[in-house]
Structure 1
């Protein structure tokens, strides 16, 4: 469990279209090639420390002729941002994906000093 040390709690959120491969025959739609997409997300202002980040699929357009496989997550979380990551595998064909995210953590206080 993440314990927050101050009363200045920040929540930042967004909704990002990660890819739209059906329009141009991209790899996610054809089911061949690179099956991972990632995008760097910057917070609207830095957190005091690394926040907790929640990711969910807010829209996906898929071919239902095969099993639906998906892995959506936040990686490389820093106080300034994180990598939004979506993966699929096997014969799953995905036309497009939009991911929603929410980050929650401590904000800097006026009394915070950077000594080193």
Structure 2
């Protein structure tokens, strides 16, 4: 079994008045993460918020998840809606799965 992990700034929209900071409608962002080592099969991936900077004049509505998990990479998906204004967000992630080993047998 192998474990890979990391931290990723997803966006920082307050400085340039980006879409997440505009606070209107349905907004998604996808960030591709590449594992440091290939897994034998797609691993189990856990994603969580490690920093969330939001405006205080509206409800905080956020959803974070992983998607399109393969042996080599996955996407972090951040979603907000309504009038929520998100200035910036960072996610931490961890992947657990089978990795190749020098002692593995390759029997044809």
Range into which the TM-score falls when normalised by the shorter chain: over 0.9
Tell me what 1:3 maps to: none
Matches within 5 A, 1:36-115: 36-110=28-102, 111-113=104-106
CA contact (8 A) 2:49 2:64 kept: yes
| TM-fit CA distance, 1:32 | 2.8
CA contact (8 A) 1:27 1:34 kept: no
CA contact (8 A) 1:28 1:34 kept: no
Matched residue count: 107
Q: Give the TM-score, by structure 1 length.
A: 0.86
Gaps of 5+ in 1: 1-8
| TM-fit CA distance, 1:113 | 3.7
Taking structure 1 as reference, are residues 39 and 94 closer, same or farther at Cα in structure 2, changes over 3 Å only?
A: same
1:24 and 1:33 map into 2 onto residues whose CA distance is 18
Judging by fraction of residues, say which structure has more strand. Answer: 2
Report runs of 4+ in structure 1 exceeding 2 Å deviation.
Answer: 109-115
1:92 and 1:42 map into 2 onto residues whose CA distance is 29
Gaps of 5+ in 2: none
Q: Give the TM-score, by structure 2 length.
A: 0.92
Matches within 5 A, 1:10-29: 10-29=2-21
1:87 and 1:112 map into 2 onto residues whose CA distance is 43
